Amino acid sequence: MKKGAIILLTSALVLGGVSCKKKGCTDPLANNYSEKAKKDDGSCDYSPVLYEGGDITTNTTFTNKIIKICGDLTVSAGLTIPEGTTIIMCANASIGVTPSGYIKAVGTSEKPIVIKGETETAGFWKGIGIESNNPNNIFDYVTVKDAGTYWYWANAGIYVKSNAKISISNSTISNHENTGLYFDDNAQISTFSNNTFSNCNIGVSLSSNLLNKIDGASNYNNNNAKNYIEARYSTITSDMTWVKTNAPILSYGAKVEAGLTISAGAVIMLEANTGFDIISTGFLNCNGTSSQPITIKGKFASAGYWEGIIIRSNNPNNKINYTTISDGGQYWAYDYSGIYIKNGKLELNNSNVNNSNSYGVYVDNASQLITNGTVQTTVAGVETNNTFSNNGTGANANCTNGCKVFFQP
């Protein structure tokens, strides 16, 4: 065959290959996206499939990429939402998962799932309520936004009822009218990692006994005045650690019946009329460092703003190291002190107690305060590696000698 004929034949094969490319919809966001299509033919369908509420009673997988929900959708069986799906919520619409159902929404970084309001304003739709403890309640690479109008669900974008269970990771919770993600008391968190909370009144709210379930890699800064994690009052009955987070924890106090360890760098803010009660079976270990001290303070910097810390335990793990404790001493039963040791033991090192209502530390006559490994009986001994400042400035101050430490005779 001549050389020119070879060139012509090769060109024909190439042109033939191009002309044989499969046509179809190449947009993965369209309902009729085809992975096999190599050339877009303009046939992409973006019309949503409409759900006008009702009850899903058999296991269902959404097959269309765009879903519109214009009512209260009840999920009483399994609902699977595939990667790349967009769900548009009409005004006052909701998704409620009953105890017999589950919602499994697993996206990817390239094809996340989006659940949003038809109008993208905070509180446009009610939210998602989960009442089931099914392990298939999973949100991974999901964005949920624009909800939070249903009072029964705590006006939250996602509400997890007591004893219900959820796994949530790599997800964004944003633009909700009140709370982005609300865990009811005794809710269960299977997995919680690498989530982002933004433009909510409060990003995440949970009871104190769930704080060990959240991670330090998530972004809790809401970009508003309430850049904190809300930790409601509860009893801590099992050993746990609170990790350092990029937003403070606003605590409503806790009764500690087991071990509570607070990690280096953590910032805890206490609301008024709240405090930490470490009973005989528990301990408090504030494990700060010189480069990452722990801060425990009032929500507002006012002497005696919150009750204080009472140590009723003789556990040797009661240790406060490289920690600043400020604004305590509101409670008369704690003698208006920032730290009150009652029939207990505390090792205090490299720390500062300041702005207490009355004394910084009050040690009753059945207790021990240890500094540098030695039981102390004088203020000077405690001050060998601790500092006290601006204590005794509150309305109920009844203290002398700088209001630093009082040893009950």
pLDDT band at 351 (very low <50, low <70, confident <90, very high): very high
| Count of H-run helices and E-run strands, the chain | 2, 43
On the question of pLDDT at 6 being above 70, the answer is: no
pTM here? 0.90
Q: What is the tens place of the pLDDT at every residue in 134-183? A: 999 999 999 999 999 999 999 999 999 999 999 999 999 999 999 999 99
Give CA–CA dist 184/200, Å, rounded.
18
On the question of pLDDT at 7 being above 80, the answer is: no
On the question of pLDDT at 353 being above 90, the answer is: yes
Q: Which residue has the tokens 């997988």?
A: 61
For 238-245, what is the mean pLDDT?
98
pLDDT band at 223 (very low <50, low <70, confident <90, very high): confident
Domain ranges of the chain: 23-200, 233-409
What pLDDT is recorded for position 336? 98
3-state secondary structure 151-215: HHHCCEEEEECCCCEEEEECCEEECCCCEEEEECCCCEEEEEECCEEECCCEEEEEEHHHHHHCC
Helix (H, G, I), strand (E, B) or coil at 249: strand
Percent of the chain residues past pLDDT 90, beyond the cut = 86
The secondary element (H helix, E strand) that includes residue 14 is helix 3-19
What pLDDT is recorded for position 65? 93
Q: What is the mean pLDDT of the chain?
A: 93
What pLDDT is recorded for position 20? 58
What pLDDT is recorded for position 259? 98
Q: What is the tens place of the pLDDT at every residue in 11-61? A: 433 444 444 578 888 877 777 777 778 778 777 877 788 898 899 999 999
Q: What is the tens place of the pLDDT at every residue in 60-77? A: 999 999 999 999 999 999
What pLDDT is recorded for position 46? 77
Q: Which residue has better confidence, 187 or 13?
A: 187
Burial class (CB in 10 A: 0-12, 13-18, 19+), 407: middle
What pLDDT is recorded for position 292? 98
On the question of pLDDT at 322 being above 90, the answer is: yes
What pLDDT is recorded for position 14? 41
On the question of pLDDT at 9 being above 50, the answer is: no
Kindly give the residue spans of alpha helices, DSSP state H, lying in 312-384.
Answer: 379-382
